[in-house]
Amino acid sequence: MKSSFNRSQLSPNDITLGIIGGGQLGKMIGIEAKRMSLNLAYLDPDMTCPASTIADQLIVSDYKDEKSILELAEKSDVLTYEIELANSAVLKDLQSKGLAVHPSPAVLNTIQNKLRQKKFLKSKGIPVPDFEEITSIDQARRICKDSDYPLLLKACEDSYDGRGNYLIRSPRDIDKGIRYFEGRSCMIEKFVHFTKEVSVMVARNTKGQIASFPVVHNIHKNNILDTTIVPAGISKTVEANARTIAEKVVKSLKGVGIFGIEMFLEDNKLLINEIAPRPHNSGHYSIEACSVSQFELHIRAIFGLPLVKPRLLSPAVMTNILGIPNYTGRYSITGIDRAFTVPGMKLHLYGKRITKPQRKLGHFTITAETTQEALSRTRRVRKLLRVEKLLGNKKEEE
C-alpha cells in the first residue's frame, strides 16, 4: 500500500486512484480523474472492459478475489469501486491497515444486503415501503395471507436491475417465488403504486461536507433505466423533501463518495427504494447539464476536497442505449452521423465489444431550453440510433 500523500504538496502525477470495476461507471470516474492527471489502476474480470482504454494499470480478475484486491491496494492511494459486488470483508481489512477506502466497507456491507439496508433506513426514521424478512415458507404464506396483492419477493443479495425481484400476484405465486430464489435469503415488500420514480445523487466528503444534485424523474422499461428527465416535474415542496431525505440517508450512513438514492413518489409521499454507493446511471445527465458532474464530486469527496452545490444549467433528458433482445455478439451502432445533427445532443459510447440483451452500451443526453424541447429532440435521436447485429462475425461469448 502506498503511503498517504501530503495534500499541501499534492502532485497529481504521483497519486493513484484504485477502482474495483472497469465498466462504464469506472470509466467515467476515470475520465474525470484523468482531467486532473491522476493515475488509474483498475480491477476487472474482462481485459477489454470499457475502462481498459484509459487504465494505467489493469488487474484482470474476479471483483471479489482477495489476492487481486490486495495487489490493487498496493498500487493505490485511495480505493473506490463502481459495483456493490466488491468484497467488503477484504476492504475492511485494508481500511484497518490505513488505506483510504471510500465509500467505507461498513457502508458497503449495509447496502449490499437489501434487508440490512431497509432495516438500517427504518431504524433512522427514513421512509421505506413496508417489508419483512422471510424465515420460512409457512411464514411467507402467513405474511401474504394478511397482505394485499401484489407483493414483491426480493432476493437480499447480488440482485440488481430487477433481476432479484419476483412479483407475487396471488397466493399461488408464493411457492413458485420461494423456489425461484432457492438457497438465497429473501424479503417481502409491499408493492408501491407509485406515480413517479425519482432519484437524487448526494456527495459527502471525508470532512462531512454534503452536496446534493437536483431531483430527477426516472422511467424504467423491463426493470432497466430507460430515460432520466430533469427537472423531475414535481412541486418545490416534494423536490425539497426528496433532497432532505436523500441527504439524511448519506449523513446517517456517514458515507463518503457519491451515492444514488432511488425513491418512489406515491401521491406526495416519498419512500426509498434503494441506495447505490457509487455513481448512478440516473446521474449521468450531470456531465452536460450541471455545473459539476457526479463523477467530479465523487473524486472531490473521496480525496477530501471541498464540494460545491451543483447547479442545473438547463433541462436535460438522458437516454440509455441498450442491447437488442435475444442477441449476444458483436454489434455496431448506426445513425450516429444523423444523430449529431440534433442540437444539444452528447453521445457516450462505452466501448463494450459484445452486446447482450438489455446490456448498457452507451447513452445520450440532450440539453435544451425547455424539457419539452429536450424530450422532442430525444424522440428524434431515438429513431436515428440503432444497435445492429454485426453479421458475418461469429457469435462471441464473453
**For binding to ligand AMP (CB under 6 A), which residues are involved?**
129, 152, 160-162, 165, 189, 191-192, 197, 220, 223, 273-274
Place of cell 426528496: 242
Nearer to ligand AMP by C-beta: 192 or 387? Answer: 192
Nearer to ligand AMP by C-beta: 260 or 344? Answer: 260
In contact, 189 and 128? CB cutoff 8 Å: no
CB of 7 to ligand AMP, least distance (A): 37
Nearer to ligand AMP by C-beta: 37 or 223? Answer: 223
CB of 161 to ligand AMP, least distance (A): 6
Nearer to ligand AMP by C-beta: 25 or 256? Answer: 25
Place of cell 413458485: 176
Element (H, E) at 172: helix 172-180
- Nearest in space to 359 (alpha carbons), one of 398, 392, 391, 393: 398
CB of 129 to ligand AMP, least distance (A): 5
DSSP character string of 13-49: GG-EEEEE--SHHHHHHHHHHHHTT-EEEEEES-TT-
For the chain, the C-alpha Rg in angstroms (whole number) is: 21
CB of 350 to ligand AMP, least distance (A): 21
HEC readout, 60-119: ECCCCCHHHHHHHHHHCCEEEECCCCCCHHHHHHHHHCCCEECCCHHHHHHHHCHHHHHH
CB of 324 to ligand AMP, least distance (A): 21
Element (H, E) at 10: none
CB of 167 to ligand AMP, least distance (A): 9
Nearer to ligand AMP by C-beta: 56 or 157? Answer: 157
Query: How far is residue 83's CA from residue 103's CA, in Å, rounded to a whole number?
Result: 11
Nearer to ligand AMP by C-beta: 204 or 280? Answer: 280
